[in-house]
Amino acid sequence: MLSKDDYLSGQVLLIDKPLNWTSFQVVNKLRWEIRRAFKIKKIKVGHAGTLDPLATGLLVICTGKMTKQIDTFQAQTKEYTGTITLGSTTPSFDLETEIDNTFPTEHITETLIHKTTEQFIGDIQQLPPVFSAIKKDGKRLYEFARAGESVNIKPRTVSISAFEITKITGMQADFRVVCSKGTYIRSLANDFGKALQSGAHLSALRRTKIGDFNIADATSIDGFINSLKS
């Protein structure tokens, strides 16, 4: 069992973020539980890379002096698994918003799906989603999007070292992606649909690795809270 001094001197906690939690909510919950367990008035707690509320999986949480390593962890390669739904798009590129357009899918074959992934390997140009937390002119992009205001977004260079389709069920394509910091899997799903001469959106996402950190070694929020009591 870790002590108060352990958390203050610095720990790296691997948490399996549940669906519908923000990364900020997870950080706040863990901070509160650590403070309560050890009667600490103040402790630094932060995460090394945001996960959207609709995504699950690995959050690297740093406490105490280990928060100084957050930038280093954030810069590491990440791995994701998930599902892309073909034939329809949403404004947010995922299930945060409703489907706004549908597209033909009759021409899409399993061979075409697998072949099209090759277009996205290496350094690529990617437009971040308008429903994202990136700041422009002092405002988050999602603030512009929710207000119905158009905004000019510049493409970014990101690197994808692996993009494989692991299962196809109808128009549901399960995938595995290994990518650089700053890659938006929602944007990848949207661009993948365009490359198929159709449309697509992200319908499930799970982060499985950050650098050498693996989801297999992560614990649930409840599991972490119970460890504080033992």
Return the active site residues: 52
Contact (Cβ atoms closer than 8 angstroms) between residue 194 and residue 44: no
The Cα 27–Cα 24 span in angstroms is 5
45, β-bridge pairs: 63
- SS3 track for 87-125: CEECCCCCCCCCCCEECCCCCCCHHHHHHHHHHHCEEEE
What percent of the chain is helix, strand and coil (3-state, nearest 5)? 30, 35, 35
Q: Residue 174 carries which side chain, given as an amino acid letter? A: D
Helix axes 23-38, 221-229, angle to 10 degrees: 10
What is d(CA 68, CA 47) in angstroms, rounded to the nearest whole number?
A: 11
Answer positive or negative: Cα dihedral of 214, 217, 219, 224: negative
